């Protein structure tokens, strides 16, 4: 089982879209996939179709999500908390959901030093059940991002390669170095950086031909991160698939679907297919 953290401390770079469609692509390659949502914004939880309720009264996530996995030593195993993304993709992958309440628990968990490696220990118990675990992370330098990078074997960094995102790479580098010190005290090897995956890219021919190669060169030469060959362009069909709604009586219920299921012959689906192949090669999945 290989554990992959998808992290950038800048938001809006296509992190969630990358996580869920990469997971779908790997699942279609007959890999047993677990996605863990460690972001209190719970975008991955929404995007994989696990939020079917309209109000707090019918909320079926708040008592059984990633917080309980981290907070309790002998309860809330991975198998007990994981849910199927059965409406999002076929074959489905498992998801440990998040919840907006997660942000309220950070200070409480900071007081528990053992919380840093509890997810790691619980994943060890299901090591034979999954081929790959993908952890979606908050765009910050907080406790949950630290837990993700302590737990993961590999790091993938989505980025639109624009100046603000590039400046954020300096923070990513420092954060990785800090986490590697913690990993060393735990007897773990440093996290292996797979590289930056260029995401949310414009599709204009001039941009692709002239600007994009220069942006990639800047990231590799000035910030010291390799850039993957796979590229994810910003396409309306990808966001449209995630934003799908379904009418149930008088209600509109989120009904997202992966781009690989919604439009498998599209350029967007092909991009995630290529990303999955490259990640499998780099991480030996």
| pLDDT tens per residue across all 285 residues of the chain | 999 999 999 988 999 999 999 999 999 999 999 999 999 999 999 999 888 766 565 677 888 999 999 999 999 999 999 999 988 999 999 999 999 999 999 999 999 999 999 999 999 999 999 999 999 999 999 999 999 999 999 999 999 999 999 999 999 999 999 999 999 999 999 999 999 999 999 999 999 999 999 999 999 999 999 999 999 999 999 999 998 888 777 777 778 999 999 999 999 999 999 999 999 999 999
Give which of 43, 46, 105, 3 is closest to 253, Cα–Cα: 46
Q: What are phi and psi of 192, to 5 degrees?
A: -90, 125
pLDDT of residue 57: 57
* pLDDT score, position 255: 86
List, in sequence order, every beta strand (DSSP E) within the chain. 2-6, 33-37, 83-84, 94-96, 132-136, 154-159, 192-201, 227-233, 245-248, 251-254
Would you state the pLDDT for residue 55? 57
pTM above 0.85, yes or no: yes
Q: Using CA atoms, how far apart are residues 122 and 57, in angstroms rounded to an integer?
A: 30
Is the separation of the CB atoms in 267 and 203 below 8 Å?
no
Q: Which pair of tokens denotes residue 39?
A: 């972001």
Which among 228, 217, 207 is positioned nearest to 271, based on CA atoms?
A: 228
Q: Which domains does the chain have, with CATH numbers?
A: 2-283 (3.40.50.300)
State the Cα–Cα distance between residues 157 and 7, nearest whole angstrom.
5
Are the C-beta atoms of residues 115 and 145 closer than 8 Å to each other?
no
> What is the model's pLDDT at position 56?
62
């Amino acid at each position: 089982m290989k554990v992959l953290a998808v992290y950038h401390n800048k938001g809006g770079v296509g992190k969630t879209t990358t996580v869920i469609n990469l997971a779908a692509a790997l699942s279609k390659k007959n890999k047993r996939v677990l996605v863990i949502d460690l972001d209190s914004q719970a975008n991955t939880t929404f995007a994989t179709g696990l939020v079917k309720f309209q109000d707090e009264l019918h909320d079926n996530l708040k008592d059984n999500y990633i917080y309980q996995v981290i907070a309790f030593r002998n309860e809330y195993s991975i198998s007990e908390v994981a849910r199927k993304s059965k409406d999002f993709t076929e074959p489905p992958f498992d998801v440990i959901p998040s919840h907006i309440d997660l942000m309220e628990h950070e200070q409480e968990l900071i007081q528990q030093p053992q919380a840093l490696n509890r997810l790691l220990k619980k994943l060890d118990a299901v090591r034979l059940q999954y081929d790959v675990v993908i952890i979606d992370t908050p765009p910050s330098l907080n406790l949950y991002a630290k837990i993700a990078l302590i737990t993961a074997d590999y790091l993938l960094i989505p980025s639109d390669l624009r100046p603000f995102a590039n400046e954020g790479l300096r923070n990513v580098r420092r954060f990785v170095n800090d986490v590697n010190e913690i990993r060393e005290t735990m007897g773990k090897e440093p996290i292996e950086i797979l590289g930056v995956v260029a995401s949310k890219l414009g599709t204009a021919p001039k941009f692709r031909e002239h600007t994009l190669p220069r942006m990639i060169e800047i990231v590799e030469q000035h910030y010291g991160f390799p850039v993957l060959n796979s590229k994810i362009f910003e396409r309306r069909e990808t966001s449209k698939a995630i934003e799908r709604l379904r009418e149930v009586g008088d209600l509109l219920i989120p009904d997202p679907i992966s781009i690989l299921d919604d439009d498998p012959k599209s350029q967007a689906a092909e991009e995630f297919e290529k990303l999955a192949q490259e990640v499998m090669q780099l991480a030996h999945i």
